[in-house]
Amino acid sequence: MSYASETRRRRTFAIISHPDAGKTTLTEKLLLFSGAIQIAGSVKARKASRHATSDWMEIEKQRGISVASSVMQMLYRDHVINLLDTPGHKDFSEDTYRVLTAVDSALMVIDAANGVEAQTRRLIEVCRQRDTPIITFVNKMDREVREPLDILDEVERELGMPCVPMTWPVGQGKSFGGIMNLRTKTMTVFESGSERRPQDFETIPLADRETLLKRFGHEFESAGQSMELAVGASPQWDHAAFLAGKQTPVFFGSGVNNFGVMEVLEALVDLAPPPGPRTSQLVVNKQPVVKVIEPADPNFSGVVFKVQANMDANHRDRIAFVRMASGKYSPGMKLKVQRTAKELRPTSVVTFLSQRREAVDEAYAGDIIGFTTHGGVQLGDTITDGANLQFTGLPFFAPELFMTVILKNPLRTKQLQQGLAQLGEEGAIQVFRPQIGGPMLLGAVGQLQFEVVQHRLKSEYDADVRLEGCQYTGARWITADTPAELRAFTDAYPQRMALDAADTLAFLCTSPYDVRLAQERFPKIHFHPLREHA
């Protein structure tokens, strides 16, 4: 098969939801119905407690799980579908944002009783920024839930884009009769239970009104009315608009009952986009050199969107997850890391087959491969088979929480530095070195990140630390048009300047007014709340 046809048959998507909406259940059913797993229960069994606490066991379990099941590949209708899971806990939302840079579409799962919840809202914002196409699945229709029109209205408001219903529920809760499929003009009849295969559900043509009225009576009639209202209020299905992130197809169902799931799987194949081009922006002699890389380009290129320490504390192995942007990977290939121009020498290269890791045979644009290394790879690194490329767009958010690190035993300084450097490279935490010296600062978006880092410093690097609060409440990355302007600024605020793990200069703030005041004093300085790896 040619490169072009290999990439055309790939679908790489992330599944996003608020905890408890049914993401794990749906993931499992997608794997089951594509034939990637044989028995339900395996994904579920690996899932950590949904109510992540600061309990160490939970965090360790979560880490184990995220290595095992954060990427899953399945084959369906001759398509290679890569499903990327996103961490459930909001304190790890930075990881989720980065995962979203590695996908071509997103599947949003909504609990029909709760509508769009807080965490989904933040994820939606990231998808919107990138114009990522979103498929919506409204789950738990077997429960007493909200009116479908009401849900659609909320999704539209939150997403800021129109919904186009693809299926429509007949009743809900105890009187849930099934879904009408607007494309096939049939009704699929609901039955509860988790053993049933999708093809075992009874379907009745919508044209057979008599039968439908006889069996579902009032529910069918009122579903027909609300569906008409919904369809009347929505635009026509426009595939191009969906691909541009301007409308979302909506499906209803009940994941736990295997119901309405097949429609989503088909939509992933039929509607979701294959990998698209990616932009590389390299700075050569201070001038940006922009290049668009097509997925079918024969040269290998990819970007590291996640780095994960292996669980074995005796080996400092790390897995760098690379989303391939172009070309083909074959075993033994020579690859280089753009940032260092060094050859990448992995101890193994794996692919993620529905939770098993296996040596990669071959992989193409859209696929995720994992390089096991002892270091030398950072989040955001571009990997190529030789060409000079630098993909951009991997976001780092300015932390809102800061702690200073105090080492209990000063003889362990080296271990602490190594630990912080590696955890910083993984993106587990952001590390800032104040320019005037003094203890290192840790910056996080979520409180749990501190606990994870403190724990891992002790268990993996034997560096016992105390974390202490400090006056900082924010940071902004700083750039200026000329070195002289930058110098004037850093001279004015020497105690506020720090370098992050990528040696990017940041201004530490103690209140939101700080930035405003500094900006007024130095109008030519640029303050960035987000740093894209470049």
Sole binder of ligand G4P in the list 8, 9, 12, 24 (CB under 6 A): 24
Measured between alpha carbons, how far is residue 44 from residues 55, 64, 92, 106 in Å?
Answer: 20, 14, 20, 21
Nearest to 301 by CA among 378, 360, 363: 363
162 binds ligand G4P (CB under 6 A): no
366: helix, strand or coil: coil
21 binds ligand G4P (CB under 6 A): yes
For residue 313, give every residue at least 6 positions away whose Cβ sits within 8 Å of its Cβ, in sequence order, or none.
459, 460
Distance of closest approach, residue 260 Cβ to ligand G4P, in angstroms:
9
Q: Which is nearer to ligand G4P, 7 or 139 (CB)?
A: 139
Q: How many other C-beta atoms can be found within 10 angstroms of the C-beta atom of residue 218?
A: 10
255 binds ligand G4P (CB under 6 A): yes
- Binding part of the chain for ligand G4P, among 252-260, 269-277, 346-354, 368-376 by CB under 6 A, reads 252-260
Distance of closest approach, residue 194 Cβ to ligand G4P, in angstroms:
9
- Distance separating alpha carbons of residues 454 and 456, to the nearest angstrom: 6
532 binds ligand G4P (CB under 6 A): no
- Distance separating alpha carbons of residues 200 and 25, to the nearest angstrom: 19
3-state helix, strand, coil in the chain (%, to 5): 35, 30, 35
The verdict on whether residue 408 carries a ligand-binding annotation is no
Task: Note every long-range contact of 85-88, with CB atoms under 8 Å and residues 24 or more positions apart, other chains counting.
Answer: 85/14, 85/15, 85/23, 85/27, 86/14, 86/15, 86/16, 86/123, 87/62, 88/19, 88/23, 88/48, 88/50, 88/52
19 binds ligand G4P (CB under 6 A): yes
- Distance separating alpha carbons of residues 403 and 155, to the nearest angstrom: 37
Q: For the residues of 120-155, what is the DSSP string, one character each?
A: HHHHHHHHHHHT--EEEEEE-TTSS---HHHHHHHH
Q: Which is nearer to ligand G4P, 20 or 294 (CB)?
A: 20
117 binds ligand G4P (CB under 6 A): no
139 binds ligand G4P (CB under 6 A): yes
50 binds ligand G4P (CB under 6 A): yes
- Binding part of the chain for ligand G4P, among 151-159, 253-261, 378-386, 432-440 by CB under 6 A, reads 253-261
308 binds ligand G4P (CB under 6 A): no
Sole binder of ligand G4P in the list 9, 11, 140, 323 (CB under 6 A): 140
Q: Which is nearer to ligand G4P, 17 or 354 (CB)?
A: 17
Task: Tell me the residue type at 263.
Answer: E
Sole binder of ligand G4P in the list 120, 167, 247, 254 (CB under 6 A): 254
The verdict on whether residue 382 carries a ligand-binding annotation is no
Catalog residues that contact ligand G4P under the rule CB under 6 A: 17, 19-25, 44, 50, 88, 139-140, 142-143, 254-257
Give the residue numbers of the binding site for GTP.
17-24, 85-89, 139-142
Give the residue numbers of the binding site.
17-24, 85-89, 139-142
